């Protein structure tokens, strides 16, 4: 029975059903917003499994528009919570734009097999880093006394009157954002699975602020990528457009639930959930390449 279910799940005809697309979008929107990753890390391998005929360019085109819808909807919800660091978000978003444009054009030149392997290894590496890193002093609400060039001390109070104090290096954040901007449309993952761990572990952002701010950055970066894809005519196919619309409807609704759940779940649990999701997706994708 389970084998029959799995066959149906990865059958294109089953996946293309409007109800299935709507439900898939809802799940992607919920999880993607909850962990600030945009949801592309779920949709990309799903498309690779259900639509192996899609080129890497088409897979990323579909995924990035869903990431954009997820990020915009989630950002609206997160802005109401007061957890978006708009100053840092605007700076980092600005530095993702050149990379995101270049990333869209690069997808044309990546072989299908290489794309799958790169994506799987990237997800597995990120998962291992998050799961194996030893827990140290809680960085969620601490200011650094380091006065190095580029350091920016921030105090942010959300709508629940929780005060977050942290210091980050703007230059390091800008450099990371350029890389994220390139990889996001290149792999269609939105970049949040890289940005959130980087903001938490290297830039010392509180987890709740990192996930919310990452979503805001995604909303800008992914929108730019969608525009470039649209100019290339990657959404002109009625089949692709129909798939995108149904997924977007589900994602927008799911993003609101994900933002609400983020208030109820501990920051460490969000990071661990992100790591587990990355590992499962990576293993499934790499296993499919072997057999």
* pLDDT tens, residue by residue, 137-147: 444 445 544 55
Alpha helices (H) along the chain:
2-9, 12-15, 18-34, 40-50, 56-81, 86-106, 112-132, 170-187, 192-201, 207-231, 238-261, 267-290
In this predicted model, what pLDDT tens digit does every residue of 165-193 receive, in sequence order? 999 999 999 999 998 888 877 777 767 77
Longest dimension (CA), the chain: 61
Per the confidence metrics, is the pTM higher than 0.85? no
Which pLDDT does position 279 carry in this prediction?
80
Mean pLDDT, the chain, whole residue set: 80
Q: How far apart are CA 277 and CA 42, in angstroms?
A: 8
Q: Are strands 163-169 and 151-157 parallel, antiparallel or unpaired?
A: antiparallel
Model pLDDT, residue 170? 93
**Angstrom distance (rounded) from CA 198 to CA 174:** 11
Cβ-contact 24, 253 below 8 angstroms = no
Q: Rounded mean pLDDT of 24-29? A: 90
Question: pLDDT value at position 36?
Answer: 67
């Amino acid at each position: 029975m389970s084998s029959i279910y799995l066959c149906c799940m990865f059958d294109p005809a089953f996946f293309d059903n409007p109800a299935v697309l709507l439900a898939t979008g809802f799940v992607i929107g919920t999880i993607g917003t909850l962990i600030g990753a945009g949801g592309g890390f779920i949709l990309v391998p799903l498309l690779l499994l259900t639509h192996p005929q899609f080129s890497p360019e088409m897979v990323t085109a579909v995924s990035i528009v869903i990431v954009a819808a997820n990020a915009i909807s989630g950002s609206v919800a997160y802005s109401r919570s007061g957890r978006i660091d708009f100053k840092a978000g605007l700076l980092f978003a600005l530095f993702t734009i050149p990379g995101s444009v270049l990333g869209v054009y690069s997808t044309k030149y990546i072989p299908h097999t290489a794309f799958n392997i790169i994506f799987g290894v990237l997800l597995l590496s990120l998962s291992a880093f998050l799961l194996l890193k030893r827990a140290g002093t809680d960085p969620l609400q601490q200011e650094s006394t380091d006065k190095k060039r580029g350091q920016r001390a921030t105090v942010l109070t959300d709508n629940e009157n929780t005060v977050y104090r942290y210091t980050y290096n703007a230059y390091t954040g800008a450099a990371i954002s350029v890389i994220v901007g390139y990889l996001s449309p290149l792999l269609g993952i939105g970049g949040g699975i890289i940005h959130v761990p980087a903001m938490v572990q290297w830039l010392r952002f509180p987890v709740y602020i990192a996930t919310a701010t990452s979503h805001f950055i995604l909303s800008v970066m992914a929108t730019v990528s969608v525009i470039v894809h649209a100019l290339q005519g990657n959404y002109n196919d009625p089949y692709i457009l129909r798939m995108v619309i149904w997924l977007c409807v589900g994602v927008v609704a799911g993003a609101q639930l994900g933002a609400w759940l983020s208030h109820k779940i501990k920051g460490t649990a969000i990071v661990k959930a992100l790591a587990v999701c990355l590992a499962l997706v990576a293993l499934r994708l790499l296993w499919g390449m072997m057999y």
